[in-house]
Amino acid sequence: MPKFSLTESALAKLPGNMSDGRGRHNGSEIKTGVPGVKIGEVEYDPSRHSPMDIDHFSTMGMMTGKPYVRQVIPHRPIEAKIILFNDESTGDTELSRTKNILASSLGSGLSSSMPAIRDRVNCFIVGDPNNDTTQRLAHLNPTFIEAIGDPEAAALEVSKLCLNGLAFVISDFENLPLQDLGSNFQNTVGIKVNNLIDVDISDLKGTRGVLSLGGSREMRLWKKKEADPFNALLKQHDQEVASRLERVGIKVARVISDNTELNGFNLSSADKEIASAIKRL
């Protein structure tokens, strides 16, 4: 299973987002009288402590007969969601496969990096719960939310899932208009998955190939007058989609589908992008 080392490291530094229970996502200040990781004990000082802070099970207190208080680093658990928008309208099986593998491996990576009692990772599939998706994500026990052929309904379902906790939304965002809902996605990472030729054909320009643009439309890649303006439009559209998401608070991470890679994408690049997005939350 691919390991997202940078992502796990960035996640471990996030504050908790749940108010009860126990977790390992710690604060940075030493305090008394609150839940947290115990790092020591000090003698009770009425000028600094409340009587409610006294630890009646203190080892030092039992030995000396004096009241002691616990010194802790506060912590709260964290909840994360993997939300895969499974849009089959494009018919792009390679892109769908990459999104499924990414959701599966990222979900496993997050689960292993959050082992505390109340930490949890939930997986949701919005759109079309096809058999391939079901098999790849079965180990995450996903919840299916059907929203086929209605981008607005799908976006509304995704936005509801993003209200609480940390959310990772996996999509190309072509048919998921989250920016139109009037919501603010403060704790959401949008993992924008695309085929390279959908966002940049720089590596193809100048070759003696022909790029199909759908139907009978074709573009001759060795013709600069055709390839350069087309590539500029691709980049502009990609940036416009990302900018719309960023304007409503979504931090965008880009992942390129690549069938020459073992996982369907470059793991190192994807890990760096997702970790960077988490740090911007």
Residue type, 214: G
pLDDT of 277: 96
Side-chain-side CA neighbours of 117 within 13 Å: the count stands at: 5
pLDDT of 215: 67
Confidence of residue 177 (pLDDT cuts 50, 70, 90): very high
Q: Contact, 12 vs 279, CB < 8 A?
A: no
**Better-predicted residue by pLDDT, 2 or 8:** 8
- Packed helices 5-12 and 267-279: angle between N→C axes, nearest 10 degrees: 10
Span 107-144, pLDDT tens digits:
888 877 665 556 788 999 998 777 676 678 888 899 99
Token pair for 176: 């998921």
pLDDT of 267: 93
Span 189-246, pLDDT tens digits:
999 999 888 888 877 777 777 877 776 778 888 888 888 888 898 899 999 999 999 9
pLDDT of 16: 63
> Average pLDDT of the chain?
83
pTM of the model as a whole: 0.77
Span 154-173, pLDDT tens digits:
999 999 999 888 999 999 99
Q: Contact, 168 vs 150, CB < 8 A?
A: no
Look at the domain 78-279 and name its fold: Rossmann fold (3.40.50)
- Cα–Cα nearest to 145, from 154, 136, 137: 154
C-alpha span between 106 and 112 (Å, rounded): 10
Outline which parts of the chain fall under CATH 3.40.50.
78-279
Confidence of residue 20 (pLDDT cuts 50, 70, 90): very low
pLDDT of 24: 47
